[in-house]
Amino acid sequence: MTPAARVQSAIEILDSIIAAARSQGAPADRILSEWFRGHRFAGSKDRRAIRELVYGAVRACGPIPQTGRAAMLRLAESDAAIAPLFDGSNYGPAAIGVGEAAAEGGTAPQWLVDRLAASGIAGDEAAALLGRAPLDLRVNTQKASREALELPDAGERLAAPNALRFETGTQVEQWPAYREGQVEVQDHGSQLACMATQARPGETVIDLCAGAGGKTLALAAAMENSGALLAADTDRGRLSRLPPRAERAGAGLIESLLLNPGKELEALDGFVGKADAVLVDAPCSGTGTWRRNPEARWRLSDAELARYVATQARLLDIASQLVRPGGRVIYVVCSLLDEEGAGQVDAFLARNPDWQGGRPEVPLGRPRGQGMRLTPHHDGTDGFFIASIGSPC
């Protein structure tokens, strides 16, 4: 493909991403994958260049742009190589019209910029949300150690005891260590959230929003396959991906439980008052993950944020019923908005004044309310809020 044809292809893909963002359709990575499957003539260099153009344009726009062309024109303002490719050639974009406007730049839609600023995320902190995320691995201590593990690339050792960092795009899935379950892909901040759970061998631990089980696997390693570890979720598709991952990792103590939305406690009745720790990695706005999913900021609305906040409060109330006296609830969101983080914990403690708020002991982050906050700018991780809440004895 010619460079101009790559730009035009990126514009077409951006149009699909914009339409999907407005209608809560498929995410950008799936749209890209489907486009590549339908355009086999695009070679590996073409695919790489188109992907870079698409995500570069998404990051360059603050509010959702009107068109993919406007988004690409916005990117052209910071990349001088792009504008000359609007040359009207075969398979290339039409020439830029006189006075043709580019999409608006910025961090996010204005209402969301204001919410972030009210939560202490502005300036360099906000800009870092749209950077490029590195690739972090967690060494699975049930099969290897960070000190002895041999990898094609040694990586950078991070603050979490089993964390290694590599450049974006490192093909770790092709490494024998990955296929053999010695390492798992997991953001450093996510590993620190698992550390905050302080899961120990012999305990009963519940991962209440387990998803595909990334944090569950880290908890299993911390528990050294001793005790009871329940991975629960309402999403059958995501939860079904955990058993093969657990088998590869050698995590034999994990049990999975599919929950019925709105009736979670019915399925969890046998665990009421018995868990030493409950991890609530709650559904959230994902404002801390924009480095990986930059178009997510176009999908969020004030009404959807309110739904997340209500769901988080309900999950905290459920978790509080599962914990034994003297146990702990670890509340985690990959959001930097206070209503989902510090404010959510404050509201729980107001409802439950006999519970004790507490900041977890993690090697990175800064205090925020009754918890700790990790940010891309200060900590090099995804954005997280983490709090440990103690049950009365």
The Cα-based distances of 282 to 11, 61, 102 in angstroms read: 35, 28, 37
Instruction: Please give the Cα distance from 6 to 355 (Å, whole number).
Output: 57
Among 61, 194, 334, 393, the active-site one is 334
Phi, psi of 340 (to 5 degrees): -95, -15
Name the residue type at position 300.
L
Tell me the β-bridge partners of 331. Answer: 280, 387
The answer to the question of whether 276 is labelled as a binding residue is no
Joined together, the tokens standing for residue 153 give 């690339």
The Cα-based distances of 302 to 24, 111, 114, 285 in angstroms read: 14, 8, 12, 10
Instruction: Please give the Cα distance from 331 to 125 (Å, whole number).
Output: 23
Q: Which of 266, 267, 365, 279 is CA-nearest to residue 327?
A: 279
The answer to the question of whether 79 is labelled as a binding residue is no
HSE-up of residue 272 (Cα within 13 Å, Cβ side): 10
Name the residue type at position 361.
E
As separate numbers, helices (DSSP H) first and strands (DSSP E) second, the chain gives 16, 13
Joined together, the tokens standing for residue 257 give 């439980």
Residue 245's H or E segment, with its range, is: helix 242-249
Asked about 209 being catalytic, the answer comes back as no
Q: 150-154 contacts: CB < 8 A, separation 24 or more?
A: 150/177, 151/175, 151/177, 151/183
Catalytic site positions = 334
Question: Which positions make up the binding site?
Answer: 233, 281
Question: Which positions make up the binding site for S-adenosyl-L-methionine?
Answer: 233, 281
